[in-house]
Amino acid sequence: MAKKTVLIIDDDADFVAAMRAVLEGAGYAAPSAASGKEGLARLAQGGVDCIILDVMMTRDTEGFHTAEEIRANPATAKIPIVMLTAISERTGFEFSPKTDTDYLPVDAFIKKPVEPEVLLKTIAKALKKK
């Protein structure tokens, strides 16, 4: 069976390196993109099974807009998105895909920092939905 590919869209190079190590250690391919724009370009190449998406990148709400663009494109609309971010800590606002689907079209929302086991379990669950 081919490796599943999890695209990391995040502008924090240290975080990306840590997530890549966790994902590759679990047998995933883990390419990355440093912005929503780069992430959308990588998605256009195909072969992505799941996405880890940050919210605050070049703009504080970039991840929300990127998620909306992913869902609006028929070619990428069904790819699971795990939003992994520190936005709640920085803004004080709580977000949930169960209650905030209008502007949070993602499959899971996890606060940074995250334990590797929680991340891997969340990704496995999202991939099963696909």
Nearest to 77, CA basis, from 68, 86, 85 = 68
Torsion of CA 22, 109, 56, 58, to 10 degrees: 70
Q: What is the pLDDT of residues 16-65, one digit of tens each?
A: 999 999 999 999 999 999 999 999 999 999 999 999 999 888 887 889 89
Q: Please state the pTM of the whole predicted model.
A: 0.87
Domain architecture of the chain: domains with CATH: 6-129 (3.40.50.2300)
Q: What is the pLDDT of residues 83-96, one digit of tens each?
A: 987 754 544 455 55
Cite the DSSP H helix spans in 12-115.
Answer: 13-25, 36-44, 62-72, 87-91
Any idea what DSSP says for residue 130? -
